Amino acid sequence: MLIFTIEYILITANSKHLNNLKAEGRQDMGKTAFQKIIDNHLVRVFPDGRMALSLDWVWCHEITTPNAIIDMIARGYDVVFNPNKIKTMIDHVNPAKDTKSAIQGKIIREWSAKHGIEFLDVGRNGVCHAIIPEKGWISPGQIGIMGDSHTCTHGAFCAFTAGVGTTDLENGIITGLWICPPQKVISVNFNGKLPVNVFAKDLILTFINKIGVKGATNAVLEFGGNIIGEMSMEGRMTIANMAVEAGATSGIMMVDEKTIKYLWPALCQRYTNAEHMLDNFMSWNSDPDAVYDQIIDIDVTNMVPVITNNYSPGDVVNVSALAGKKVNQVYIGSCTNGRLSDLRVAANIFDIIGNKISDSIRCIVVPATQHIYEMALNEGLIDIFVKAGCFVSGPTCGACLGLSCGVLAPGEVCVSTTNRNFPGRMGKDGMVHLTSPATAAFTAIHGVISEPPTNLCVIVVDRERDAPEFEAAIPTNWKEREVKKLDYAQLLAKNSEDSKKDFSGKVFYLPIDNIDTDQIIPAKYLTETKKEEFGKHCLEDAPILAEERIKLHQSQILITGENFGCGSSREHAPWALEDAGIRCVIAPSFARIFENNMFANGLLCITLNKVLIDRLFEEKPDEIHINIKDKEIEWLEKKRGGLVMFNISDYHKELIENGGSVNFMIKLAAEIYNQ
């Protein structure tokens, strides 16, 4: 049982109420940081509340971008809205581990050169969410997207950044626009006195445990309280990074002196001095009288180190509850906990105790960027890890998603500082326990899950306090390119409409909640650039029998449980479903990015209440007829059959009519830019 105090304060003023207040003339009411950022980037509002936003940044890596490049070329849309606002890198498989991953790197490398886009190649790169702020590719008040669900990390700099699928990424590259659904804003305040053996990772895991893995769907979390104010930027990024694990679109934090100190080396040329920069950026902070949809206050005083228990980042227990469990591997790194302060914590534990890792395990350490690796080397941290018996890798996402550098064998157990532990995430049938670098390092020494003691962490924290501050990397000497004005109307005329799809047909039943994208299509296949290769592996790691999967390929409709498609932003999941024959998924609820990716590909998501879903599971009709025009679902069975209505917005209907979102976005860009 987790020990802490959490108080939910439900504010009566929800988003609809806020709009009513404004309609009544309350224009003077305070704004949240999110509202300020939206107001500065809003291009159009759709009837269902969706917002077309102008983008400051589009970031790209080699896993989700090549398919966008291939599609743009095939459509005759191989253009970029602004080469200076697009940044590309190798980070997931670094360096390439096989021919397919090498091809992915080649595609993004050559495309970047063609369009004059700054590209971070092997040896000059790092895990995207660590290197983006290092390079100064984010500032308070900005909006950025990337084909990676943990893009929410950069909200730590008071920016609105979010993960999207490949098609939304493609649309952003071409048009500089992103359509975002309406968002709630939830204030989350960590207050009290932080115990010395409790770290940022413990805080965010505890929060996710209480709000749930879909508790913040279509919401922006604004993190605050005295604990956030006292925390380093690296700790703040850890918390913002995992906002998506609660279903949130992004996690935002306020600007203060620490924000400025971190960004100053990269942005100093734009400002007279740090005070000028601080004054400028603090204007993005939420107003004192800002109104939130919900406020959550958390007292951290009695918190203890925590760890995930089963296959969910929301299933969290005290470390003491799993103490003594045998471990095969410890992994210290990732975009969540591969920064310099994380490495210092782990290295200091090895150094203070003076022990090597247990002979019964292996420990892999992965600095998040080349710059962090260099600083860790200069401080002697790498030497400590090597002498302790750890394997130290160059920066890569690697084992976090089961691609390389630490993949688990079936039945193995890993204690990891990464952010996600879905079934098969780091290797088929492997178990991953998420925790802080302190717990991970202490576990590595003992070979079993072990809680870092307070007396040890007092010394660790003191050493960190006395250590030199992290020095953000100096940005590369990149000369801005000329921005060519695009004629989107002419661009659209070059292409024909995408084909529309039929959504009626046979049904495949999957009565399981929280099926994630790694179960829909395992990460080990992500180096494939041909969409038609994904279908044969669809639901390969889902808890269903092989003979049941055969029926999937004979079906057009999938009916399933809550929060379907949670996890990664990777669009490979809808591609796998479509290649397997599925055109429509019906569920009580969907993860935000997955649902958006389905419609972006002209595929259909239908949300029905759980009572109706349970009825369908009970009756199990072989076929279902779907009438999108009249918003009807009909089935006939020996028992009674049924006819039910479903909701679909005009926006989503238009995407279905267009066969997806690419042509829709080109039309929108033509209306906005070619007036």
Q: What is the DSSP string of 401-423?
A: GTSSSSPPPTT-EEEESSS---T
Report residue 399's pLDDT band, with 50, 70 and 90 as the boundaries: confident
**Per-residue confidence (pLDDT) for residue 16, from 0 to 100:** 45
pLDDT digits (tens, 9 = 90+) for 289-298: 999 999 999 9
- Residues 232 and 267 both lie in one domain: yes
22 pLDDT more than 50: no
- Residues 395 and 262 both lie in one domain: no
- Residues 286 and 338 both lie in one domain: no
The last residue of one of the domains, among 248, 279, 299, is: 299
In this structure, are residues 55 and 84 in contact, taking their beta carbons and an 8 Å threshold?
Answer: no
Query: Is residue 331 in a domain?
Result: yes
Q: Which domain holds residue 431?
A: 306-466
Report residue 7's pLDDT band, with 50, 70 and 90 as the boundaries: very low
Question: Residue 358 belongs to what H/E stretch?
Answer: none
In this structure, are residues 427 and 408 in contact, taking their beta carbons and an 8 Å threshold?
Answer: yes
Cα torsion for 349, 350, 352, 355, to the nearest 10°?
Answer: 140
Our measurement of the distance from residue 44's CA atom to the centroid of its chain's CA atoms, rounded to an integer in Å, reads 25
Q: Is the dihedral of CA 119, 125, 128, 133 positive or negative?
A: negative
* CA–CA dist 237, 593 (Å, integer): 21
Report residue 28's pLDDT band, with 50, 70 and 90 as the boundaries: low
Report residue 637's pLDDT band, with 50, 70 and 90 as the boundaries: low
- Residues 386 and 511 both lie in one domain: no
**Per-residue confidence (pLDDT) for residue 639, from 0 to 100:** 60
- Residues 334 and 367 both lie in one domain: yes
Mean pLDDT, rounded, for 354-358: 92
- Residues 186 and 71 both lie in one domain: yes
* CA–CA dist 142, 149 (Å, integer): 18
Sheet-wide strand order for 42-45: 42-45, 51-54, 177-180
- Residues 290 and 310 both lie in one domain: no
Report residue 403's pLDDT band, with 50, 70 and 90 as the boundaries: confident
**Per-residue confidence (pLDDT) for residue 293, from 0 to 100:** 97
Provide the CATH number for the domain around residue 583.
3.20.19.10
30 pLDDT more than 90: yes
- Residues 62 and 204 both lie in one domain: yes
Query: Is residue 274 in a domain?
Result: yes
Query: Is residue 582 in a domain?
Result: yes
- Residues 516 and 401 both lie in one domain: no
Name, of 159-163, 471-475, 643-647, the range with top average pLDDT. Answer: 159-163
Report residue 25's pLDDT band, with 50, 70 and 90 as the boundaries: very low
Query: Is residue 203 in a domain?
Result: yes
163 pLDDT more than 50: yes
- Residues 445 and 519 both lie in one domain: no
Give me the percent of the chain exceeding a pLDDT of 70: 94
Per-residue DSSP letters for 538-607? TTTTSSS-HHHHHHHTT-SEEEE-TTBTBS---THHHHHHHHHT--EEEES-B-HHHHHHHHHTT-EEEE
- Mean pLDDT for the chain overall: 92
* CA–CA dist 252, 617 (Å, integer): 40
pLDDT digits (tens, 9 = 90+) for 203-259: 999 999 999 999 999 999 999 999 999 999 999 999 999 999 999 999 999 999 999
Tokens for 383, please give them: 């030497």
Query: Is residue 553 in a domain?
Result: yes
CA distances to 102, 143, 287 from 223, in Å: 39, 18, 14
pLDDT digits (tens, 9 = 90+) for 519-569: 999 988 988 998 889 999 999 988 888 888 899 999 999 999 999 999 888
The last residue of one of the domains, among 443, 466, 489, is: 466
Query: Is residue 471 in a domain?
Result: no
- Residues 447 and 426 both lie in one domain: yes
pLDDT digits (tens, 9 = 90+) for 593-631: 999 999 999 999 999 999 999 999 999 999 999 999 899
* CA–CA dist 16, 448 (Å, integer): 50
3 pLDDT more than 90: no
Query: Is residue 498 in a domain?
Result: no
- Residues 131 and 97 both lie in one domain: yes
Question: Residue 647 belongs to what H/E stretch?
Answer: none
pLDDT digits (tens, 9 = 90+) for 32-48: 999 999 999 999 999 99
In total, how many domains does the chain have? 3
The last residue of one of the domains, among 417, 447, 466, is: 466
Return the beta strands (E) in 319-381 as ranges.
329-333, 362-366
Query: Is residue 152 in a domain?
Result: yes
**Per-residue confidence (pLDDT) for residue 355, from 0 to 100:** 83
Provide the CATH number for the domain around residue 80.
3.30.499.10
